[in-house]
A and B are shown apart, each in its own frame.
Chain A
């Protein structure tokens, strides 16, 4: 069973993503900021991270940077942000995110990305 960690400070967004993820038969877990996400990533393996940028305590960039520099997880990290600025995108890739998509995302759209990044048979 593929496990996906949703990292977002907005409970509404977490629920929205959880619904989508669970509808496809994946397991969803949640963290409300980068710190909590790191703690979770340290305690169990995840196959994908769905990360918001703007969060208290530790933001999305910081979280992914930690993830990569401490070698906590190599699983792809997908930034789901409302910012469409090129500089934000670059910052995300610099930190080690693997994809940057703009909120709001349609469920099917999000699932397509998730499926591909999890290596699920496409056809």
Chain B
């Protein structure tokens, strides 16, 4: 993929959500001109960008969006919800095309149909109001807007003759390009007759338009021709002639410049008489510089442009600057053509113009000398005196952009490198130990330790800095919610006000990305099951529109996200009954369970309160999907509900998951890591304190009964856990889904910071392990996943 295409994709991805946001904002503040202009600019830019590539499907739709917005801006159409729907759909379509471009660098032609349909429906929204203006619009249609090139076959002699006709006799010369549509015979049109009606034809040509024309397979009922005609009639007369088929014809009044170049500038007698002596002299010795066709066109364009600039009103404060710039442009093209002798004349004309504050002197000079002089090259020596003055010269400050866009891969690489460095640095304490024990040099050991402290500090800071780079505001996913809430509530016939707070809260990119799906699921649930229909809300004394609040914030090293609605809430009794019916809880649990616990049963696997599967939230999966997704990134989710008044879902996630603090434990002569965020405490339990309750081992710790499990047993290792010298077991108390469990191990070791790498390959199926990490001495540490293990 070329950098240009990459840039296009990344920029477009920035634009789309902004456009969507503005489209929705306009629904509530339709008259906001600033938002409208901003929106127009974004769509316009996006369209312009797509036009740089060969993505007609995308450009077409965006162009229609732009036209539609332009119509709204000019009050030719009024903004409505259905219009917003249509525009949003167009943006979705563009987003989809972008995905495709990103993956395959092109757009499949199968989207052409959709693109055309979308375009039609967009344009339809303007047309209804515009029908009456259409006729006027066509009459004023200007065919000169793009670079215009006369047919190549036009011979030099004819060009000259016509040139003279315009210049000397001020006769109009009009170029007509008429491409009848292929079905024209069925509409009662007769292109040949039409063309014969054109008066004063001086040149004409007929072309076959279909590229693979074959006389054997010709379809006589289809017109595949293009007529090109030069005539001396007035353009208005021709417009009248073609008034029934204006979209099939281009009518262009020619200027003398359009007829250039002749291959050699040698004017017939008539024209020379009109010229000044000076020009004649120049023409006499002039040779035409060998310009390419492209250059000739460009030259003509630039000359015409300067003429047009000079033709603008004089009474503006910036006139002098404008005149100077015209002079600079004229000087440049004359220099480009090697006509350095003209430069002093331009300068003189400019000075004259500046002195009288009028364009006239430059205009006169241009009329007299250009473009003829411009096309002639003479070999005069370089005139070095003329140096255009450019504004004030100051120190060359180049201010680059304040933010950089960096490929995620590059940051991941940095992350991996710092991970390796952390590991490498951890080998220094081992080295110090060896220096002392093996080589008996205490001093060296101390020095190594000092160095280690320095490197350790730098490494930690660096790690922190890189982690900062990976931080992303949650607005990254929050920005999709207005659209989501709008679309869903509309489909459900509910009114919902969405309030979002703390969108600037930052967290690691992986965490933020992991949040998206659970949040969407929770929002869907709130809209579908929580918030009631307007009439039901009114009946229970609430406002018609429901309120959904999504609030993000940081609490120490965790991101907390709260989703609150003021809907009907969750009835703990119903939840309990359902859970009991589904066999998720037994009779005793049902009796004992608090309302709070009951509400959280919705997160249990296989639980779904919706009576029937709905399009919005029930796809056979319940809130357990949310819990699993959140727990995967070491997060927790809790639901609180006030029956009849609303529901609150609390998500808590770590800020970053790049570095994990683990405790090293030993069992059966192997070491394992246990993530510290699950560890509650480490205790020693004497053998005698262990009791058997319901066939399971347990012990009373701090006044609570904690079940005990042997790690060897959990891992399928046959040996018993080792007792220490005091006949006590080492028990690691971990918290799993709010409950404490004691895991018996052989011994505890220190805690270390590690970069946890997921287990790959055939081992990836082992859920008991959260991943592996490299230790300072080069050995591999397997990190346990207590949630899956127990």
Give A12 to B250 CA distance when docked, in angstroms.
33
Query: In angstroms, how far is the closest chain A Cβ from the Cβ of B64?
Result: 14
Residue from A85, A102, A117 in contact with B302 in the complex, judged by beta carbons closer than 8 Å: A117
Binding site secondary structure of chain B? helix
Q: Which residues of A sit under 8 angstroms from B144, Cβ to Cβ?
A: 86
Asked whether, in the complex, the Cβ of A123 is within 8 Å of the Cβ of B391, the reply is no
Query: In angstroms, how far is the closest chain B Cβ from the Cβ of A15?
Result: 5
Asked whether, in the complex, the Cβ of A86 is within 8 Å of the Cβ of B302, the reply is no
User: B216 on the interface (CB 8 Å rule)?
Assistant: no
Query: In angstroms, how far is the closest chain A Cβ from the Cβ of B540?
Result: 47
Asked whether, in the complex, the Cβ of B336 is within 8 Å of the Cβ of A116, the reply is yes
Asked whether, in the complex, the Cβ of A69 is within 8 Å of the Cβ of B318, the reply is yes
Q: Which residues of A sit under 8 angstroms from B295, Cβ to Cβ?
A: 112, 115-116, 122
Asked whether, in the complex, the Cβ of B142 is within 8 Å of the Cβ of A86, the reply is yes
Asked whether, in the complex, the Cβ of A109 is within 8 Å of the Cβ of B146, the reply is no
Q: Which residues of A sit under 8 angstroms from B51, Cβ to Cβ?
A: 82, 103-104
User: B718 on the interface (CB 8 Å rule)?
Assistant: no
Give A122 to B377 CA distance when docked, in angstroms.
11
Asked whether, in the complex, the Cβ of A9 is within 8 Å of the Cβ of B41, the reply is yes
Instruction: List residues 289-323 of chain B with CB under 8 A from any CB of chain A.
Output: 289-292, 294-295, 298-299, 301-302, 305-306, 308-309, 311-313, 316-318, 320-322
Asked whether, in the complex, the Cβ of A74 is within 8 Å of the Cβ of B52, the reply is no
Q: Given contacts A93-B305, A121-B336, are A19 and B48 in contact (CB under 8 A)?
A: no
Q: Quick one: closest B residue to A72, CB to CB? A: B391
Asked whether, in the complex, the Cβ of A116 is within 8 Å of the Cβ of B289, the reply is no
Q: Which residues of A sit under 8 angstroms from B305, Cβ to Cβ?
A: 93, 97-100
Asked whether, in the complex, the Cβ of A113 is within 8 Å of the Cβ of B302, the reply is yes
Asked whether, in the complex, the Cβ of B11 is within 8 Å of the Cβ of A11, the reply is yes
Give A119 to B398 CA distance when docked, in angstroms.
26
User: B221 on the interface (CB 8 Å rule)?
Assistant: no
Q: Which residues of A sit under 8 angstroms from B337, Cβ to Cβ?
A: 122
Residue from B7, B147, B299, B327 in contact with A11 in the complex, judged by beta carbons closer than 8 Å: B7
Residue from A9, A65, A99 in contact with B45 in the complex, judged by beta carbons closer than 8 Å: A9
Q: Which residues of B sit under 8 angstroms from A112, Cβ to Cβ?
A: 292, 294-295, 298
Q: Which residues of B sit under 8 angstroms from A70, Cβ to Cβ?
A: 321
Q: Given contacts A116-B333, A116-B336, are A43 and B8 in contact (CB under 8 A)?
A: no
Asked whether, in the complex, the Cβ of A13 is within 8 Å of the Cβ of B52, the reply is yes
Q: Which residues of A sit under 8 angstroms from B301, Cβ to Cβ?
A: 99, 101, 113
User: A21 on the interface (CB 8 Å rule)?
Assistant: no
Q: Which residues of B sit under 8 angstroms from A74, Cβ to Cβ?
A: 321, 324-325, 327-328, 388-390
User: B397 on the interface (CB 8 Å rule)?
Assistant: yes
Q: Given contacts A76-B329, A100-B305, are A42 and B391 in contact (CB under 8 A)?
A: yes
User: A58 on the interface (CB 8 Å rule)?
Assistant: no
Q: Given contacts A98-B325, A116-B333, A119-B335, are A75 and B11 in contact (CB under 8 A)?
A: no
Q: Which residues of A sit under 8 angstroms from B290, Cβ to Cβ?
A: 123
Query: In angstroms, how far is the closest chain B Cβ from the Cβ of A52?
Result: 8
Asked whether, in the complex, the Cβ of A10 is within 8 Å of the Cβ of B48, the reply is yes
Give A121 to B142 CA distance when docked, in angstroms.
34
Q: Which residues of A sit under 8 angstroms from B38, Cβ to Cβ?
A: 56
Q: Quick one: closest B residue to A86, CB to CB? A: B142
User: A96 on the interface (CB 8 Å rule)?
Assistant: yes
Q: Which residues of A sit under 8 angstroms from B725, Cβ to Cβ?
A: none
User: A35 on the interface (CB 8 Å rule)?
Assistant: no
Q: Mark A43-69, 1 if CB is under 8 A from B, else 0.
A: 111110000101110000000010111
Q: Which residues of B sit under 8 angstroms from A54, Cβ to Cβ?
A: 40-41, 44-45
Give A1 to B707 CA distance when docked, in angstroms.
79
Asked whether, in the complex, the Cβ of B11 is within 8 Å of the Cβ of A10, the reply is yes
Q: Quick one: closest A residue to B396, CB to CB? A: A44
Q: Mark B5-32, 1 if CB is under 8 A from A, else 0.
A: 0011001100000000000000000000
Q: Quick one: closest B residue to A65, CB to CB? A: B318
Q: Given contacts A16-B52, A102-B145, are A96 and B322 in contact (CB under 8 A)?
A: yes
Q: Given contacts A10-B45, A54-B44, A116-B299, are A44 and B394 in contact (CB under 8 A)?
A: yes
User: B625 on the interface (CB 8 Å rule)?
Assistant: no
Asked whether, in the complex, the Cβ of A68 is within 8 Å of the Cβ of B322, the reply is yes
User: A94 on the interface (CB 8 Å rule)?
Assistant: yes
Asked whether, in the complex, the Cβ of B391 is within 8 Å of the Cβ of A45, the reply is yes
**In the complex, how many residue pairs between chain A and chain B have their CB atoms under 8 Å apart?**
194
Q: Which residues of A sit under 8 angstroms from B294, Cβ to Cβ?
A: 108-109, 112
Give A119 to B331 CA distance when docked, in angstroms.
7
Query: In angstroms, how far is the closest chain A Cβ from the Cβ of B202?
Result: 27
User: B395 on the interface (CB 8 Å rule)?
Assistant: yes
Give A84 to B63 CA distance when docked, in angstroms.
13
User: B592 on the interface (CB 8 Å rule)?
Assistant: no
Q: Given contacts A45-B390, A85-B145, A116-B298, are A15 and B48 in contact (CB under 8 A)?
A: no
Q: Which residues of B sit under 8 angstroms from A9, Cβ to Cβ?
A: 41, 45
Q: Mark B335-350, 1 if CB is under 8 A from A, else 0.
A: 1111000000000000
Give A122 to B333 CA distance when docked, in angstroms.
9
Q: Quick one: closest B residue to A69, CB to CB? A: B318
Q: Quick one: closest B residue to A96, CB to CB? A: B322
Q: Which residues of A sit under 8 angstroms from B47, Cβ to Cβ?
A: 82
Among A72, A90, A99, A119, residue most surrounded by chain B Cβ atoms (within 10 Å): A119
Q: Given contacts A96-B322, A112-B294, are A12 and B390 in contact (CB under 8 A)?
A: no
Asked whether, in the complex, the Cβ of A43 is within 8 Å of the Cβ of B389, the reply is no
Q: Given contacts A68-B318, A119-B333, are A75 and B388 in contact (CB under 8 A)?
A: yes
Q: Quick one: closest A residue to B2, CB to CB? A: A19
Give A43 to B309 CA distance when docked, in angstroms.
27
Asked whether, in the complex, the Cβ of B44 is within 8 Å of the Cβ of A82, the reply is yes
User: A73 on the interface (CB 8 Å rule)?
Assistant: yes
Q: Mark A27-38, 1 if CB is under 8 A from B, else 0.
A: 001001000000
Q: Which residues of A sit under 8 angstroms from B320, Cβ to Cβ?
A: 68, 71
Asked whether, in the complex, the Cβ of A119 is within 8 Å of the Cβ of B52, the reply is no
User: B356 on the interface (CB 8 Å rule)?
Assistant: no
Asked whether, in the complex, the Cβ of B395 is within 8 Å of the Cβ of A12, the reply is no
Give A85 to B143 CA distance when docked, in angstroms.
10
Give A82 to B45 CA distance when docked, in angstroms.
9
Q: Quick one: closest B residue to A100, CB to CB? A: B305
Q: Quick one: closest A residue to B304, CB to CB? A: A99
Residue from A56, A96, A103 in contact with B321 in the complex, judged by beta carbons closer than 8 Å: A96
Asked whether, in the complex, the Cβ of A93 is within 8 Å of the Cβ of B308, the reply is yes
Q: Which residues of B sit under 8 angstroms from A67, Cβ to Cβ?
A: 321
Instruction: List residues 666-695 of chain B with CB under 8 A from any CB of chain A.
Output: none
Hey, which bits of chain A sit against chain B, CB under 8 A?
9-13, 15-16, 19, 29, 32, 39-47, 52, 54-56, 65, 67-77, 82, 84-86, 89-90, 93-104, 108-109, 112-113, 115-123
Q: List 16 A-B contacts (CB under 8 A).
A: A13-B45, A13-B49, A42-B394, A44-B397, A54-B41, A69-B317, A74-B321, A82-B51, A94-B313, A101-B301, A102-B145, A102-B147, A104-B52, A112-B294, A122-B289, A123-B290
Other 19 A-B pairs with CB < 8 A, given A43-B396, A71-B391: A54-B45, A72-B391, A72-B392, A74-B324, A75-B328, A85-B142, A86-B142, A90-B308, A94-B316, A96-B318, A97-B305, A97-B309, A98-B305, A101-B301, A115-B295, A115-B336, A116-B295, A117-B333, A122-B295
The 5 closest A-B pairs by CB, nearest first: A68-B321, A69-B318, A45-B390, A119-B332, A119-B335
